[in-house]
């Protein structure tokens, strides 16, 4: 694994002139407002590592967690103190599967921008170009404690396009929401959706084997494209070396770069390990074949999404280091979800794999803590040894890991972004509501004080409703 990483780093350095920057990454302009130093005291704190809660404090400075500790440990002297007695403190909830902004409310066709269902391979589209920042569903998710979320293209296509990770903040632009430094994801899809959408147009894929033929063809094209650029890089390096000395007999001309191909850039980004694969896949047997596919083309699947049958292959997910992002109890709405069980998430966890609870729903995203609680209880009824604290990792640490932002957020640790939620009750209770939500140390939501973003859409027609 480590060696592979080193190889990749070397390759990256080799290709640095074009992979060093992501072309077309319209830079994040997100900046947390006015940073204040403050300390939250007397909260029941769960840092999101599955270790269980403790009574303690957390100090925030410059938008980062400065320090945290239990009540009997000495804390820094900070003027602004927030007494959180009777409240529970967790890391911000992270939803790895959302379509907010791409499928906003109101949900008219004029607004429905989540699925470029015109060709089975649309790796060239980027979800961020569809996000409507004024979607009133963002503040509803914030009231549910969601501080960061991944917006994915839909699942009609084998390759749906690039995802984007957002901070759940009000902004005029999507650039103002983009999570600084978060890697891009690539949405892929197995099973019924691609074969239904294109099969019904008498076009490939019309079957699951058609799906696989489509993936493989695209990866072969991507390998070709990668080689073409590698050749160009080599000859460019040779030219640069020659130009600096002008030694040697034969005159060299500066090579011209191949024409950019947006579709291939995204796929090569995956092969280079820069873009994370988020693969919509329900059935266990299909997930197993996707893992083999990733080995054929030497890339890593970061997470299977929906993964309704992940409980059948938890061991396989663990050994291949693939996360499964799941619902607590959605099932039955299509044939490939018919084997859904309420203990899916805890069984994946118990098998040692990275389990995540996701929403894929503008309603569900408001209550991801309850979804985790349902899954937890189902696992406990089955006899699995699990705690509330384990269930919290499905919403925080593991989600951050799958988005490649665990070094920034997802757990409460010194130096990390101060993305925090204060809950009214233990977070796994149906009665728990987020009382306050902080993103990078800025209080974005305060239920008691009525502080929270109101989108442009809501102004004058819905602003009285949280």
Partner 1 sequence: MKNFVLMLVFVWGSSLALGDVLIKDARLVKDNGETGDVRDLHIKDGRIVEIGVNLKGTEETVIFDAMERAVTAGLIDSATTIGLAEVSGLGVSYDGEVSGDDMAAGFQVALALNPASTLIPLASNDGITRGIVVPEPGDSNFAGQSASVRFVQGRNFLQREDNGLHLYLRERDRRYAGGSRARALSLAVDALEEAGRFDRQREAFDSNELRPFAIGLDDLETLLRVRSGAMPLVVHVDRAADIRNVVDAFTAFPDLRLILAGAAEAWKVTESLLAHDIPVLINGLDNLPQNFDRLGARLDQAYLLSSAGVRFALMSGSPYSEFRSLTQAAGVAVANGLAWEQALLAITAVPAEIWGLEGLGKIDRGAKADLVIWSGDPLEVSSAPIAVMVEGGWVNLETRQDRLAKRYLEVLNLETKD
Per-position DSSP letters for 413-456, written without gaps between them: -TTSB--EEEESS-TTSTT--EEEEEETTEEEEETTTTB----T
Of the pair 18, 331, the CB lying nearest partner 1 is at 331
Whether 375 and 324 have beta carbons less than 8 Å apart is answered as no
Q: Which stretch binds partner 1 (CB under 8 A): 154-162, 237-245, 269-277, 361-369?
A: 361-369
Q: In degrees rounded to 5, what are phi and psi of residue 425?
A: -140, 175
* Residue-level length of the chain: 466
- Asked if 189 interacts with partner 1 (CB under 8 A), we say no
H or E, element range at 160: strand 159-162
Of the pair 141, 403, the CB lying nearest partner 1 is at 141
Binding-site member from 358, 367, 397, 416 for partner 1 (CB under 8 A): 367
Q: Kindly state the number of chain residues that form the binding site for partner 1, as judged by CB under 8 A.
A: 57
Residue pointed to by tokens 């665990």:
406
Binding-site member from 31, 70, 118, 363 for partner 1 (CB under 8 A): 363
Binding-site member from 59, 270, 326, 376 for partner 1 (CB under 8 A): 376
Binding-site member from 194, 340, 404, 427 for partner 1 (CB under 8 A): 340
Binding-site member from 34, 85, 108, 246 for partner 1 (CB under 8 A): 108
8-state DSSP, 209: H
Whether 367 and 222 have beta carbons less than 8 Å apart is answered as no
- Asked if 107 interacts with partner 1 (CB under 8 A), we say yes
Take residue 23 and report the two structure tokens written for it: 């072309």
Q: How far apart are CA 394 and CA 95, in angstroms?
A: 10
- Asked if 19 interacts with partner 1 (CB under 8 A), we say no
The minimum distance between CB 432 and partner 1, in angstroms, equals: 7
Q: Which stretch binds partner 1 (CB under 8 A): 19-27, 84-92, 180-188, 337-345?
A: 337-345
Of the pair 310, 420, the CB lying nearest partner 1 is at 310
- Asked if 341 interacts with partner 1 (CB under 8 A), we say yes
- Asked if 285 interacts with partner 1 (CB under 8 A), we say no
- Asked if 462 interacts with partner 1 (CB under 8 A), we say yes
Sheet of strand 185-189, all strands in order from the earlier edge strand to the far edge? 159-162, 185-189, 276-281, 301-306, 323-326, 355-357
Binding-site member from 58, 290, 350, 418 for partner 1 (CB under 8 A): 350
- Asked if 429 interacts with partner 1 (CB under 8 A), we say yes
b or e along 364-399 (b: 16 or more beta carbons within 10 Å of the residue's beta carbon)?
A: bbbbbbbbbbbbbbbbeeeeeebbbbbbbbbbbbbb
Of the pair 16, 107, the CB lying nearest partner 1 is at 107
Instruction: Determine how many CB atoms are found less than 10 A away from the CB of residue 217.
Output: 14
Report the DSSP pairing between strands 420-423 and 276-281.
unpaired
- Asked if 461 interacts with partner 1 (CB under 8 A), we say yes
**Residues binding partner 1 (CB under 8 A):** 105-108, 136-137, 140, 311-312, 314-315, 329-335, 337-343, 347, 350-351, 361-364, 366-367, 370, 373-374, 376-377, 380-385, 424, 428-433, 458, 461-462, 465-466
């Amino acid at each position: 694994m480590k060696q592979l990483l080193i190889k990749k780093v070397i390759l990256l350095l080799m290709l640095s002139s074009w992979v060093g920057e992501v072309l077309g990454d319209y830079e994040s302009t997100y900046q947390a407002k006015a940073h204040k130093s403050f300390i939250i005291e007397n909260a029941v704190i769960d840092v999101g590592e599955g270790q269980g809660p403790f009574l303690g404090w957390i100090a925030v400075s410059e938008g980062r967690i400065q320090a945290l500790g239990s009540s009997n440990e000495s804390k820094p002297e900070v003027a602004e103190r927030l007494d959180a007695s009777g409240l529970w403190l967790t890391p911000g909830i992270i939803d790895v599967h959302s379509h907010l902004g791409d499928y906003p409310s109101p949900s008219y066709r004029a607004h429905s921008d989540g699925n470029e269902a015109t060709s089975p391979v649309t790796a060239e589209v980027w979800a961020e170009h569809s996000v409507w920042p004024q979607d009133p569903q963002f503040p509803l998710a914030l009231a549910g404690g969601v501080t960061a979320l991944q917006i994915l293209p839909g699942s009609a296509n084998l390759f749906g396009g690039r995802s984007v990770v957002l901070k759940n903040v009000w902004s005029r632009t999507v650039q103002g929401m983009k999570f600084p430094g978060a890697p891009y994801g690539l949405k892929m899809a197995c099973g019924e959706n691609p074969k239904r959408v294109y099969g019904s147009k008498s076009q490939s894929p019309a079957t699951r084997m058609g799906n696989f033929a489509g993936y493989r063809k695209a990866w072969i094209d991507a390998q070709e494209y990668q080689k073409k650029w590698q050749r160009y890089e080599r000859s460019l390096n040779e030219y640069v070396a020659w130009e600096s000395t002008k030694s040697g007999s034969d005159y060299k001309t500066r090579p011209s770069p191949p024409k950019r191909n947006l579709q291939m850039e995204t796929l090569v980004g995956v092969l280079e390990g820069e873009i994370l694969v988020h693969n919509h896949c329900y059935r266990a047997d299909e997930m197993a074949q996707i893992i083999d596919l990733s080995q054929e083309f030497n890339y890593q699947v970061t997470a299977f999404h929906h993964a309704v049958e992940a409980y059948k292959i938890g061991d396989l997910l663990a050994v291949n280091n693939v996360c499964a992002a799941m619902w607590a109890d959605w099932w039955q709405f299509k044939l490939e979800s018919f084997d859904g069980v309420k203990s899916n998430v805890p069984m994946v966890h118990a098998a040692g794999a990275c389990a995540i609870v996701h929403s894929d729903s503008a309603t569900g995203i408001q209550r991801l803590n309850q979804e985790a609680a349902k899954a937890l209880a189902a696992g406990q009824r089955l006899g699995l040894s699990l705690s509330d604290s384990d269930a919290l990792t499905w919403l925080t640490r593991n989600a951050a890991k799958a988005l490649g932002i665990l070094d920034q957020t997802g757990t409460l640790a010194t130096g990390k972004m101060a993305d925090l939620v204060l809950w009214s009750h233990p977070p796994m209770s149906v009665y728990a509501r987020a009382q306050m939500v902080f993103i990078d140390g800025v209080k974005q939501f305060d239920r008691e004080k009525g502080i929270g973003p109101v989108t442009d859409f809501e102004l004058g027609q819905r602003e009285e409703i949280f």
